[in-house]
């Protein structure tokens, strides 16, 4: 059965059965309702069984009420998808975090990453060596430059220590 646009508008604008007795919308088969809604008759039957679409005599459907019920059902599914979108975003965030965790574990296994404590220990050893070498500068200068007075050596020593102290505070 085919309907014109005017007939469709007339049916959907007709008052509900509860509003005006005697002006009920047509009762259609699952196939006809499926054509209206763009879904298969089997899906119409399933929606009727699930109580989503109102039925008359078990296999027939009041057109207006069924269309309105299907629209409400579609809206409720859309609202659910908004919640599902938030859930999907959280799942995506979790998946990215897990991927990053796995990448880090793989990099550690390939020895591409070094624990921070180990790096800190190595740098501390290097810097202790630099400090010791710098503190030895005044005595080495005193050995190689015999013309310097003890006062000159003390001044060099003081400058080296001040430089180390300043670097330590920066």
pLDDT per residue as tens digits for the range 74-110 = 888 877 666 667 788 889 999 999 999 999 999 888 9
Identify the pLDDT of residue 169. Answer: 85
Mean pLDDT of the chain: 86
* pTM, rounded to two decimals: 0.40
Does residue 152 or residue 84 have the better pLDDT?
Answer: 152
Strands 27-29, 60-62: pairing is antiparallel
Q: What would the mean pLDDT of 97-126 be, rounded to a whole number?
A: 92
pLDDT for 12: 65
What residue spans define the domains of the chain?
5-77, 116-169
At 146, is the pLDDT very low, low, confident or very high (cuts 50, 70, 90)? Answer: confident
pLDDT at 19 over 50: no
Question: Tokens for 120?
Answer: 């800190």
Check: CATH 1.10.3710 for 5-77? no
pLDDT at residue 21, as a whole number: 46
């Amino acid at each position: 059965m085919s309907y014109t646009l005017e007939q469709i508008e007339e049916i959907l604008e007709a008052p509900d059965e509860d509003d005006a007795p005697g002006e009920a919308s047509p009762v259609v088969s699952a196939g006809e309702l499926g054509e209206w809604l763009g879904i298969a008759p089997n899906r119409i039957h399933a929606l009727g069984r699930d109580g989503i679409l109102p039925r008359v005599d078990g296999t027939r459907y009041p057109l207006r009420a069924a269309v309105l019920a299907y629209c409400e059902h579609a809206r409720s599914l859309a609202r659910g998808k908004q919640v599902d979108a938030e859930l999907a975003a959280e799942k995506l965030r979790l998946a990215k975090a897990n991927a990053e965790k796995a990448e880090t574990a793989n990099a550690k296994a390939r020895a591409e990453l070094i624990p921070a404590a180990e790096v800190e220990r190595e740098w501390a050893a290097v810097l202790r060596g630099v400090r010791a070498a710098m503190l030895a500068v005044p005595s080495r200068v005193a050995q190689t430059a015999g013309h310097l007075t003890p006062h000159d050596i003390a001044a060099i020593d003081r400058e080296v220590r001040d430089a180390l102290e300043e670097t330590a505070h920066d």
